[in-house]
Structure 1
Amino acid sequence: MIVKKLSIVVSAFFSMSMFAQEVATTSTIEIKPEVKLSYLDSVKGTFKKDDVATRVDSLWMKELTSLDIYDDLTKDIQTINTDVTVDEELPTELLKQRLAAMNEKSPFDIEYNQGLENIIKSFLKNRKKSFSRLMALSEYYFPIFEDAFAKQNVPLEIKYLAVVESALNPKAVSKMGATGLWQFMYGTGKQYALKIDSYIDERSDPLKATAAASEYMTKMYNIFGDWELVLASYNSGPGNVTKAIRRSGGKTKYWDIRSYLPKETQGYVPAFLATMYLFEYHKEHGINPERAVVKNFETDTINIKKEITFKQIADLLDMPQSQIQLLNPSYKLNVVPYYQGEQHFLRLPKDKIATFASNENKIYDYVAYQSERRTLPAKLALKVAPKAKPMVKEKLELAKDIQFYKIRKGDNLGTIAAKYDVNVSDLKKWNNLKSNAVALGRTLKIKSDTDPIAKNIEEAKSSPAVEKNTETAIASSDENEKSNTVNQEYIVAAGDNLGSIAKKFGTTVADLKDLNNLTSNNVGLGKTLIVSKIITTVEGNNITTAIAVNNSMDPFKKKAVSARTLGEDYYVKKGDSLYSISKKYPGITISDIKKWNNIKDGDIKPGMKLKING
């Protein structure tokens, strides 16, 4: 009996200890917070993905699209003195042998002279690193050139001319306004049917500009019958070549008329031949080409059916904008536009094309979602109350976030605009620029006046509902509640990645990248990340209502800026679409217009009257 009682006690003791262990174990289980997915992440989560993955280092891509090589080579060609001997190890006899070997397999008249030797030695002494980078770019561009030239029976060696003209940079713009790989002037570009408008400049399109250059070369050869004179006419124009022929007494060889040509053209053909030599004999001179990340045969194009920005493409396909810019240089504002009756193509790596094509409908749905639900920028949260006076310009200026940027080597308006998420046209307007050329060291003013609120205030001046006392409303709002932003920060520890950090703080990878201006998923150990921004804003009603929220919140829960115009009629014009009309009325969506006018589909006709109701 005692044994039985003892066994019951022991068994009860063990049961209690096991229960205690269970409780203890349960209490140490980590309760993981629910991860909130943004609409972007939820769309990407459903994508069918190709097994092939392309890794692109955005810093390397930025290096390749830098304009510093173009600036250096242009300066060399304009200022190099072919009569000055350069001290560089290259025996003259060896150079003569190599030039003779090049001459045997080329339609160009390649013969040794002291001036050519001096330019070759100058490039070897000062530009070895530049040519290493240029050879990486040539892996992408040269197949395009060779294909176009072969179709027109143009010598393939003319591909080296693009190195001299633009340093293989499709965004290169000369002081005179010549643009693109082949440096076409505006008039010449139009003459060869290259499209140039606010969104597109086909002088920067590698395929179309090369076809135009090929056509030009063919016409000039039919006139002069000499490829060196064709190059000279490309640089200085056929008129100057004709004058030089007359002044030389009727001679028709480049080297015979060279001294009668403009000074820049005198160094132009030798620079072309020196470039050809360095590409042919780079190994012998220890020039090791950098490898191209994206080669021409690894890319493909897709027809774009709706307007889409490079940022949207980059976010959806997980690739840096710099790579999209490299592959699509003819789009001036980092936007692929949509014109009715015209086709616009986007060039991407083949694996990204596969992802795009497999998920096209979802991608366009996301673009439409973004255009209809423009959320309030974190930098500006302003409430405009009723019964307000027209806002004076000085007060509006306070609502803009003004920054200053000093032009560095390699910068251009396109890269600066992308960096600050503004338009090139706005940059030019804010800084009174008449062309895309910007001087090194100049300071540019950059405003955030493209925010919807600032636009609404400007537009509200002419609306009867707000023609009173806006200034007073802002002053009284400031007294009641001022906008205040608090950043929550996190220092990256060993083993962290963006996914684990997003999970830890209940946010998304896309939001983390957006908050910290990250172009890739890589984060360095010890880096301080902003994980959320909590903004308190002024409250009110009527024209605009702005509620700022934690950036990790689901976009469906974010409240967009709304600015409604009451009881207005709009008459449809030629070329209008529901999307373009909705953009004229900030805060009004396509679905609003459809609902108010009982439109089942998107068909509207010129002259049709639409109700715009609040």
Structure 2
Amino acid sequence: MKKIVILILILVINIGYTQDKKDTKVLEKLKDTENLFSHEDSTFYKKLDSVKFQFHHEVSTIDSLWINELINSPLNDTLRYSLEDDEFFISELKELPTELLKQRLEELDSKTPFNISYNPQLEQIIKSYLSKRKPVFSVIMERARFYFPMFEEHLDKYNIPLELKYLAIVESALKPTAKSRVGATGLWQFMYQTGVLYNLNISSYVDERSDPIRATEAACKYLSTLYKIYNDWDLALAAYNSGPGNVNKAIRRAGGSRNFWNIRNYLPRETAGYVPAFYATMYIFKYANEHNIKARENTITRFETDTIQIKRQITFEQINETLNVDIEILKFLNPQYKLDIIPYVKNKNYVLTLPTKHVGNFVSNEKLIYAYVDYQESKREKALPQYLEVKDQITYKVRKGDYLGRIANKYNVSVSYLKRWNNLKSNNLRIGQRLKIYSNNVNVAATSKSTSTKAKEVPKGDYNTYIVKSGDSLWTIAQKYANVSVTNIKEWNNIWSAKSLKPGTKLKIFSK
């Protein structure tokens, strides 16, 4: 008899786990089980069945970067730390007594539409964060100053609780270029197909899952859809992480319960820790002062930026040279551009985000800037033939002070070619790294050994001295002199980074 019972149990479990992975089919199976639940629950499942999801199972599964760490912690156990285990954790036990935590959680619960009730697992996560992640939260609070005002604007537009801004912390730690092990990308960690479904453009140049505004708009739409299904924000959050299919199966296995804490043990392990991690993050932000967590000071806020619609393809390097905007700032403000290139495509409105103080300079000099870009492109090497002889390849060894733009200028090729030839995913180089460079210019190939170890000779004779002023860039300085280029100034003064161009710096400008 016992063997028969065991076989039946195994069969039931296998049926549950081998259900069709597509959410639409999961919802159809729910319809067949209406007799197991009350009339109210039957209505609920009919509502689920009416929703037409177009997601793959893998598309709906979002991989939280923070939860990976939590999976390995005892989330499903009661608090099990002892005095010998973690002295930092014990200090937090003393700093935050359980009764005080209960009071604070009750206060949070009264102010939000979430089911924030005390339980030992949530206490464990909060105290673990406080003992081990205070420095991390200081960094994240700095990023939050930039992103949260924009999040709140979009959440309010869709009538979504403003507290859902903390969800982006759980998903990506507020890193717009974050990419998980399963390919989920951006602040809100969208999978490829989900991003396409919500009209996020993904191409070789652009990934709008990393565009803070476009991705936030998509996240609001998705969260709104999930809330309409469950009419419960806890379940909507769980579905955002692992997909509606997994939540629906957990509801069935919990006997029709729709309280997150009751279905938690039937959810994937990551999702079981996902909602508590969200609550823990919310708690720490709300009570940061009480726990002496201070945000680091940031250099820019979103209110200090503006956007410009681009009228031709332009690179971050060219913007850096013409406006003297640090490339790292350009990357931070424009994370959707994968190759540090803003493309120009008909009927696509690609924009450049800049600090406000540089926007006027760009608009005033737009024609000159594009003329400079055209001049730069005219010097670039044209498309190479399909075959290359051995002599066409140059091997360059990266030295201290080198960066891709400098090397590209030296060999009259483009940064994008350098990346493609060497399979580079970013602009970062390391000293001693060897780069392949292809050129049809025999002279360049023949002299590659000398040019890789010796800078171009500085002209002899009289020169003017220019003292750099605030707001200057290599390009604006070059415009002040006849027949002087940005490359000339770089070579004459051994300047290969905009960081070296500081007010008071003296530059040699030779007559040509």
Give the TM-score normalised by the residue count of structure 1: 0.58
Letter in 2 for 1:262: P
Counterpart position of 2:259: 253
Q: Whole-Å Cα distance in 2 between the matches of residues 277 and 170 of structure 1?
A: 23
Q: Amino acid of the residue matched to residue 447 of structure 1?
A: L
1:297 Cα deviation from its structure 2 partner: 1.4
Q: 1:511 aligns with which of 471, 477, 490?
A: 490
Secondary structure of the residue aligned to 1:132 is: helix
Corresponding residue for residue 100 of structure 1 = 106
Say if 1:160 and 1:275, in contact at 8 Å, map to a contact too.
yes
Q: Structure 1 424/417 Cα, relative in aligned 2: closer, same or farther at 3 Å? A: farther
Q: Does 1:370 align with 2:350?
A: no
For residue 185 of structure 1, report the CA deviation from its aligned partner. Answer: 0.5
Alpha-carbon displacement from aligned partner over 1:409-439 (angstroms, at most 9, x marks no partner): xxxxxxx9789777678657645x9xx69xx
Larger radius of gyration: 1
Structure 1 residue 448 displacement after superposition: 4.6
Deviations 1:180-235 (A, max 9, x none): 00010100000111001111110001111000000000111111111111111111
Does residue 84 of structure 2 align to residue 80 of structure 1?
A: no
Give the Cα separation in 1 of the matches to 2:158 and 2:388: 62
Which residue number corresponds to residue 127 of structure 1?
133
Alpha-carbon shift at residue 292 of structure 1 (Å): 2.5
User: Could you say if the C-alpha distance between residues 286 and 474 of structure 1 is closer, same or farther in structure 2, counting changes exceeding 3 Å?
Assistant: closer
Instruction: Tell me the alpha carbon deviations over residues 243-265 of structure 1, each in whole angstroms, 9 at most, x when there is no partner.
Output: 10011111111111000000111
Q: CA deviation at 1:316?
A: 1.5
Deviations 1:534-557 (A, max 9, x none): xxxxxxxxxxxxxxxxxx667xx6
For residues 418 and 242 of structure 1, the distance between their equivalents in structure 2, rounded to whole angstroms, comes to 52
Alpha-carbon spacing, 1:497–1:99, altered in 2? closer, same or farther (3 Å): farther
Matches within 5 A, 1:373-522: 373-374=379-380, 393-397=389-393, 399-401=394-396, 427=419, 430=422, 447-449=435-437, 454-456=438-440, 486-487=454-455, 499=468, 511=490, 515-521=494-500
CA contact (8 A) 2:172 2:188 kept: yes
CA distance in 1, matches of 2:104, 2:376: 59
User: 2:239 aligned with 1:243, yes or no?
Assistant: no
Q: Distance in 2 between matches of 1:447 and 1:241?
A: 49
Q: Sort the Cα spacing of 1:358 and 1:518 in 2 relative to 1 into closer, same or farther, 3 A.
A: same
Q: For residues 238-387 of structure 1, what are the structure 2 equivalents within 5 Å?
A: 238-374=244-380
> How far apart, in 2, do the equivalents of 1:117 and 1:514 lie?
59
More helix by share: 2
Count of residue pairs the alignment pairs up: 405
How many angstroms apart in 1 are the aligned matches of 2:310 and 2:366? 10
Q: Which position in structure 2 is the counterpart of 1:212? A: 218
Change (3 A) 1:124 1:136: same
In structure 2, the residue corresponding to 1:456 is in which secondary structure? coil
SS of structure 1 residue aligned to 2:66: helix
Q: CA deviation at 1:315?
A: 1.8
1:291-315 per-residue CA deviation (whole Å, 9 max, x = no partner) reads: 2321111111111111111111122
Measure how far apart 1:148 and its partner are. Answer: 0.8
Gaps of 5+ in 1: 1-69, 377-389, 406-415, 458-469, 491-495, 533-551, 558-614
- Match in the other structure for 1:153: 159
* TM-score, normalising length: structure 2: 0.69
- Relative distance call for 1:127 and 1:519 in structure 2 (3 A) is farther
1:193 maps to what in 2? Answer: 199
Q: Is the 8 A contact 1:402 1:448 kept in 2?
A: no
The answer to whether the Cα contact below 8 Å between 1:80 and 1:267 also exists between their aligned partners in 2 is no
**Which digits, 9 at most, give the CA deviation of each residue in 1:358-410, with x for residues without a partner?**
2211211221222223499xxxxxxxxxxxxx99754334x2325599xxxxx
- For 1:418 and 1:128, locate their aligned partners in 2 and report how far apart those are by CA, in whole Å: 38
In structure 2, distance between residues paired with 1:521 and 1:176 = 40
Q: Is contact 1:180-1:204 (8 Å) kept?
A: yes
Q: Find the aligned partners of 2:420 and 2:256 in 1 and give their Cα distance.
A: 48
Q: Secondary structure at the match of 1:401?
A: strand
2:117 corresponds to 1:138: no
> By how many angstroms is 1:266 displaced?
1.0
Q: Secondary structure at the match of 2:440?
A: helix
**Counterpart pick for 1:225 among 231, 234, 258:** 231
CA distance in 2, matches of 1:156, 1:334: 32
Q: Which sits farther off after the overlay, 74-83 or 353-362?
A: 74-83
Distance 1:76 1:404, change over 3 A: farther
Change (3 A) 1:139 1:306: same
Q: 1:180 to 1:251 in 2, by over 3 A?
A: same
Change (3 A) 1:420 1:253: farther
Residue pair 2:315, 2:341 contacting (<8 A) in 1 also: yes
Question: Aligned partner of 2:371: which letter?
Answer: D
